[in-house]
Amino acid sequence: MVRKGKPKKRIILPDPVYNSYLVQRFINNLLKKGKKSIATKIFYQTLNNIEEKTNKDPLEILDQAIRKTTPLIEVKSRRIGGSTYQLPLTVESNRGISLAICWIITAANKRSGKGIVIKLTNEIIDASKNLGLAIRKKEEVHKMAEANKAFAHFRA
């Protein structure tokens, strides 16, 4: 079957409370098994906890955390002449934000502690301060890309 190009990008509406597209994207990545109402409650509780702990605007801290965990370069496997190379590629802004959100959520899930709200709160605050597992993941990806800089000429 012939593919007819890329599928259309779905339009995401901003969330009703903060009127932010970023918050809605975070909620969409947070949900499991289609339970959007639970994901929404978890995320809004997380933002309330961030505001209580830092006495700052939680959207600013969330934006700062995502900006600091967004990768600039990533590596992709490419098979050339019988061997596989890790090629460093620049990341588009949309994909970078998606990666940052996913890394923050997985880092929060790996944290020790009780309850996803507390773990997610701490991970977002740590990421805004350039700490935590999500930042370490970004640095790891950048190191991989730096190490494989020699294969950059294979890009097509």
Pick the CATH number of 21-154 from 2.60.40.10, 1.10.443.10, 1.10.455.10, 1.10.10.10: 1.10.455.10
| DSSP result, 39-66 | HHHHHHHHHHHHHHHHSS-HHHHHHHHH
Per-residue pLDDT of the chain (156 residues; tens, 9 = 90+): 677 888 888 899 999 999 999 999 999 999 988 899 999 999 999 999 999 999 999 999 999 999 999 999 988 888 878 888 788 888 999 999 999 999 999 999 999 888 999 999 999 999 999 999 999 999 999 998 888 877 666 665
**Contact at 8 Å (CB) between 126 and 132?**
yes
What is the reported pTM? 0.88
